[in-house]
A and B are shown apart, each in its own frame.
Chain A
């Protein structure tokens, strides 16, 4: 193939998503550098990955040699200045625009203009992140879902300045990594977080307007084939996370009524009833 393959890969950030994305590349047979300011954070993430792989070995899902190879392919790098020759870099750090813009500005200075600079953001504008970088036409979104190793969907997001030819190129490469990529224009929430909004938000209205109880709504949606109803699902995701996603899509659309969050949602966050991780949310999980 004449097409350039992405051989030299890097991930910025060794949080849940960062290390998960690195795992996807490594499991697909590719070496990957992980940039993280704190080596301790990286080491902790690696021991987490090691444990997860070990479990899969014990369950007979993968072989021991494969697990070892995956771990060997993930390499620690303390500084983004070591990414001079990278073909593709994915950033997976905190969801703060100014922090991401600083990183992209720096990345654009260090790398060649042909290096693809991608963000794993789920809620920020790619166009806005790209505006901080030299050659914004090579900046795009590559949005993996959590857990990255198991969730097949990847949203390939094109900012206003992104070169359209990159979409197909990145899509083909992701397919080789056994993912299911979709191409989406840069709009608030992209596809999944945007289209799923009513599933969550309308549910609060049913309860507030006395149309149905939470148990009823969940039961009805399960009958319809959803694995979980909106309230059970929010307890699993975290009501705080779900509320933040709602607010971000609402603000991103200049307060269009279609995305209006619900006061009950905020109240749950205010009272600390944010789901399973707090022992209580829409339902109680206390022992």
Chain B
């Protein structure tokens, strides 16, 4: 039996996912390779801010058998909306790709269309086989940890843009004053500014509450592709600027 898993997306999250799958005896297949019909699963780590998510999911679904699970990032959209694009919406499992390879728990959400469908449970057993405990939470953009992190980063970004304090002092304060494992700005650079902005704009759109409005500094960093550590520049500088998707110098 072939253990191929299709990985949609580029950048550090996709690279880490590829390595994780290899360690589990699976063969990651990147989106630009030729379509397979007998894949074990499809894992889509794109946030979906630019519309490319729908196009590539629709294209790939044609080559999958109807029961093949589709794990899709719900940092910007709900699993329910993503499922609504597909011919077989029941196969969709929303998940958070942040620190997926590192943590023993993974947050997942069930699209409305798949509630009570056994395929959802089957998909979770695949995660279990990879050593991941599924934490099933409600289907809203950003789930629990990514949403909390994005809001902490947003507040820290407001502090920085207002010059309330320096970036170093903001991170130091949160680590020493309230035991955060990471300063929020450094943490955002590790996760990717693009991911943080995707979560905030997704929540702002879906829930319509001003609490989720991204700081204009974050928006500008998104446009300028100051996407964090992988891009060479985020809230901090990391040597040369590079393309966050390919790692090529810019």
Chain B residue at smallest Cβ distance from A171: B169
Per-residue CB contact flags for chain B residues 30-63 toward chain A (1 = under 8 Å, else 0) read 0000000000000000000000000000000000
The answer on a CB contact under 8 Å between B174 and A224 is no
Contacting residue for B174 out of A195, A225, A257, CB 8 A: A195
The answer on a CB contact under 8 Å between B138 and A151 is no
Q: In the complex, which residues of chain A have a beta carbon less than 8 angstroms from the beta carbon of B164?
A: 184-185, 187, 191
Chain B residue at smallest Cβ distance from A224: B145
A41 within 8 Å of B by Cβ?
no
Chain B interface size band reads 35 or more
Contacting residue for A219 out of B105, B155, B165, B210, CB 8 A: B105
Contacting residue for A199 out of B143, B148, B163, CB 8 A: B148
A231 to chain B, nearest CB (A): 12
A282 within 8 Å of B by Cβ?
no
The answer on a CB contact under 8 Å between B145 and A221 is yes
Q: In the complex, which residues of chain B have a beta carbon less than 8 angstroms from the beta carbon of A183?
A: 165-166, 169
The answer on a CB contact under 8 Å between A216 and B137 is yes
A110 within 8 Å of B by Cβ?
no
B223 within 8 Å of A by Cβ?
no
Chain A residue at smallest Cβ distance from B96: A220
CA distance A202 to B212 in the complex (A): 11
Q: Which of B159-176 contact A (CB under 8 A)?
A: 159, 162-166, 169-170, 172-174, 176
Per-residue CB contact flags for chain B residues 169-201 toward chain A (1 = under 8 Å, else 0) read 110111011111110100000000000000000
| A191-B179 CB under 8 A given contacts A202-B147, A219-B135 | no
Chain A interface size band reads 35 or more
Q: In the complex, which residues of chain B have a beta carbon less than 8 angstroms from the beta carbon of A212?
A: 135, 137-138, 144
Q: In the complex, which residues of chain A have a beta carbon less than 8 angstroms from the beta carbon of B143?
A: 211
The answer on a CB contact under 8 Å between A194 and B177 is no
A65 to chain B, nearest CB (A): 30
Contacting residue for A258 out of B104, B180, B210, CB 8 A: B210
| A258-B148 CB under 8 A given contacts A191-B164, A225-B181 | no
The answer on a CB contact under 8 Å between A145 and B177 is yes
B23 within 8 Å of A by Cβ?
no
Q: In the complex, which residues of chain B have a beta carbon less than 8 angstroms from the beta carbon of A197?
A: 155
CA distance A256 to B210 in the complex (A): 8
Q: Which of B125-153 contact A (CB under 8 A)?
A: 135, 137-138, 140, 143-145, 147-149, 151-152
B70 within 8 Å of A by Cβ?
no
The answer on a CB contact under 8 Å between B173 and A195 is yes
The answer on a CB contact under 8 Å between B137 and A211 is yes
A3 within 8 Å of B by Cβ?
no
Q: Can you list 6 contacts pairing A with B, beta carbon distance less than 8 Å?
A: A195-B173, A219-B105, A223-B105, A228-B179, A257-B211, A258-B155
A interface with B by C-beta (< 8 Å): 145, 151-153, 155, 180, 182-185, 187, 191-192, 194-199, 202-203, 206, 209-212, 216-217, 219-221, 223-228, 256-258, 260
